[in-house]
Homo-oligomer: A and B are copies of this chain.
Amino acid sequence: MSITQLCLLSFGLLLQVLPVQAKLTSESPSQYGTITHSQNGAVLNVLFDNNSTEINIYDNKIQSDLYDLVTQLQNDTTVKVLVFRSANPDFFLAHGELTAREGTPNFALDDPRNEVANAWRLFYNITELPMASIAVVDGRARGAGNEFVMSCDMRFATKSSMFGQPEVGLGFNPGAGATQYLPRLIGRGRALEYLLTGLDVTGEKAEQLGWVNRAFVEASEMEEFVGDLARRIALFPNLAIANIKALVSNASRPSLEDLAEEGRRYLGAASAEEAQGLINKTLELTNDESRGWFELNVGDHLPKLYN
C-alpha cells in the first residue's frame, strides 16, 4: 500500500481546520515596548530592544512582552517561522536582571511574567509553539539570554558572538534551563566545564561544540543564510512543521519536572546570603548593570568578585 492508496483509507481522519486569522502586525507594539515584530509572508521577524537598559537586559518588561507574543502565537497559523534578533549590536540579551530597576514592573512569583521565577516556563512554551523558532545571535547572550537561545529550535551566531552562564560565579545555578539544555547539546563533560567555570564561549567555538547550529564570520553572511532558511521553511505546510517539532521534542527536550527543579534550586541558592553578597558586588562592579568592562567580558572578570 502506497501513501497515495493510504489516502483513500484515512483521508477523513485529519482534516486540517485552519482558522482565518489576521497577520500579526508591528502596529500593535508590545506593552512595555521591548519587542517589535514585523511579518513577511509566513516569517515573523522579532526584535528584542529593551532600550531602557544599555545591555538589553532580560527583565520583567521583556518577559512580559515575550509572554504576550508567545501566547498570541500558540494558536496562530499564519506564522510558520519565528526569527529572533536583537536591536543592540553588542548584547543579544545580556542576562536576567540582578536587581529591580526603577520602572520595572513588579510581578508576583507565580505570575508568568515574573522573569526571575518563570523564565524557564516561558522558554519551554517556545519549544511547544507549532512554528519553527530561530535565534540569530550577534553580540552577547548570557544567563537567561543564552537559555532563551538554547530553547529556540535553531541557533545561528557570528563567530565573534559570546555565550555563557556566569551564574556559578555569583553563587547560584542557572534557573531558566541551562543545566538541562546544554548537556543535551554538547554532552555532560563540556556542559559541566562551562557551567562550573562561567567562562564565555565564542560563536566560533560554540559551533564546534554543537552549542549553536552554525557560526559565520560576517553578520551579513549569517543574515543571508537565515533568510534563505526561513523563507524555505515558510513554504512548507504547518502540519509537517508542527509534527516534526513535537516529535523531535519528545526525543530530545528537557522535561518540565527537571526544569522546575532547576528553577526551585535557583530561587533557593540566589537567595542565600553568600549569593546576595556576590550579587551586590556585581552591581557595584557593573555600575548597576550598565554597559562597561565587566558586562562586556563577564567570563574574564568573574574572579574579580572574589578579590
Q: A99 and B268 in contact (CB under 8 A), knowing A11-B273, A196-B153? A: no
Chain A binding surface, main DSSP class:
helix
Cα distance A195–B251 when bound, in Å?
13
In the complex, which of the residues B192, B270, B280 contacts A245, with contact meaning CB atoms closer than 8 Å? B192
Bound Cα distance A14, B262 (Å):
15
A241 (CB) vs chain B CBs: closest residue: B196
A189 is contacted by which of B180, B213, B236, B278 (Cβ under 8 Å)? Answer: B213
Indicate whether A4 reaches chain B with its CB closer than 8 angstroms. yes
Report the minimal beta-carbon distance from A253 to chain B, rounded to whole angstroms. 7
Q: Flag A229-250 by CB within 8 Å of B: 1 or 0 each.
A: 1001101110111011111111
Report chain B residues within 8 Å CB of A14.
268-269, 271-272
Q: Is the pair A192, B153 in contact by a Cβ cutoff of 8 Å?
A: yes
| A97: interface (CB < 8 Å) | yes
Q: Decide yes or no whether A173 CB sits under 8 A from chain B.
A: yes
Task: Decide if A296 is an interface residue (CB 8 Å cutoff).
Answer: no
Cα-based distance from A82 to B10 in the complex (angstroms): 37
Contact among B3, B229, B275 with A237 in the assembled complex (CB-CB below 8 Å)? B275
Instruction: For the complex, give the distance between the alpha carbons of A187 and B210 in Å.
Output: 7
| Distance in angstroms between the alpha carbons of A240 and B279 in the assembled complex | 13
| Size category, A interface | 35 or more
A267, B10: Cβ atoms closer than 8 Å: yes
**Among residues 184 to 219 in chain A, which have CB atoms less than 8 Å away from a CB atom of chain B?**
184-193, 195-199, 210, 212-213
CB pair A237–B171 under 8 Å, yes or no, is yes
Q: Are A100 and B2 in contact (CB under 8 A)?
A: yes
Interface pick from A32-40, A71-79, A86-94, A106-114: A106-114
Contact across chains for A251 and B210 when beta carbons are under 8 A apart: no
Of the candidates B5, B233, B280, B302, which one forms a contact with A197 in the assembled complex, judged by CB atoms under 8 Å apart?
B233
Nearest-CB distance from A172 to chain B (Å)? 5
Closest to A283 in B: B4
Q: Is the CB of B244 within 8 A of A192?
A: yes
Apart from A4-B99, A14-B268, A250-B258, what are 10 other A-B pairs with CB-CB below 8 Å? A2-B116, A3-B116, A6-B109, A6-B267, A7-B271, A15-B272, A168-B244, A179-B244, A188-B251, A243-B269
22 contacts between A and B (CB under 8 A): A1-B60, A2-B116, A3-B97, A4-B276, A4-B279, A6-B270, A11-B271, A13-B271, A154-B193, A155-B189, A167-B240, A168-B240, A173-B240, A173-B244, A174-B244, A188-B249, A189-B213, A191-B248, A191-B252, A196-B241, A239-B269, A239-B275
Give residues in A with beta carbon < 8 Å to B.
1-7, 9-11, 13-16, 60, 96-100, 104, 106-109, 114, 116-117, 132, 152-155, 167-174, 179-180, 182-193, 195-199, 210, 212-213, 229, 232-233, 235-237, 239-241, 243-254, 258, 261-262, 265-276, 278-280, 302-303, 306
